[in-house]
Amino acid sequence: MAKQVQLKAQVRTQTGKGPVKRLRRAGVVPGVVYGRHTQPLSVTVELEELGDVLAHATSGNVLVDLSIEAEGQTTRHLALIQDVQHHPLRDEVLHVDFREVNPNEKMRTTVAVRPIGEPVGVKRGGGTLEFVLRELTIECLPKDLPDVLDINVEKLDIGQSLNVGSLTPPPGVTFLDPKDRAVFTVVAPMVEEAAAAVEAGPAEPEVIGEKKAEGEEAGEGEKPAEAKPAAKAEAGKAEAKPSAAGAPAAPAAAPAKPEAKKK
């Protein structure tokens, strides 16, 4: 189950970019605490203490017993570290979100899955185990929250999968993902797939002009038809058609006679 750790915080009254930057330079991380039954509360935590908690976390779910000091009084809150914002370029924590949970009320969250054992399809068939889901959505009381979900995959052969419905949840935990969703599957080795493609051989290329050849066989022995005289006559008429203005074409002029010489 998720380990519960201690962490101290103080109520934060200063807001805005300037005060927040000064807090970070002083080694303090701004944060917020919120929940279903809690009004959002701005807090600060020591960077060194928060870094130690995160460094020793065994999963993505860190359950924190958060002691918040305000005006000389301390209140305790059970919370999950919901989100940690980092600087995009520097290794610097910018902000932390705490989601308060009720120890007597079921909560919903996601937990990472971890395969246990070597699948038979990998050991004997050379297949590959693939993650289909990296996390499962669960519902449980905070005390039953698991660090990680260990799933035995030893019986998986090539082409087989483990679905959510075939898994046994830890005590007090309910899986909320669809039962037919696959979590792990074993796929065939790429070498066998490539070999199968080689054995099948390349597809036969299409012979260009093959259909034309078939048409030639169907009309074998036939000679192309000669132009009929009527067609020739029509062609001659086309040449003698009147001009676009509607007047008949003028006959060609006769060559001029040579002028008679005077005596």
- Give the tens place of pLDDT for each residue, 218-263: 444 444 444 444 444 444 444 444 444 444 444 444 455 545 444 4
DSSP helix/strand/coil, 13: coil
| DSSP, res 41 | E
Looking at residue 29, what is its pLDDT?
94
Q: Out of 1.10.640.10, 3.30.70.250, 2.170.120.20, 1.10.287.70, select the CATH number for domain 108-196.
A: 2.170.120.20
Could you tell me the CA-to-CA distances from 252 to 77, 223, 237, 244, 256 in Å, in that order?
A: 117, 41, 18, 18, 12
Confidence at 198, pLDDT banded by 50, 70, 90 = low
What are the domain boundaries of the chain? 4-102, 108-196
More confident residue, 212 or 24: 24
pLDDT at residue 57 in the model:
82
10 Å CB burial of residue 157 (0-12, 13-18, 19+) is middle
pTM for the whole structure: 0.65
Which region among 14-23, 50-59, 174-183 has the lowest average model confidence (pLDDT)?
14-23
Pair of tokens at residue 186: 């074993």
How far is Cα of residue 190 from the mean position of the Cα atoms in its chain? 22
More confident of the two residues 234 and 57: 57
Question: CATH topology for 4-102?
Answer: Ribosomal Protein L25; Chain P (2.40.240)
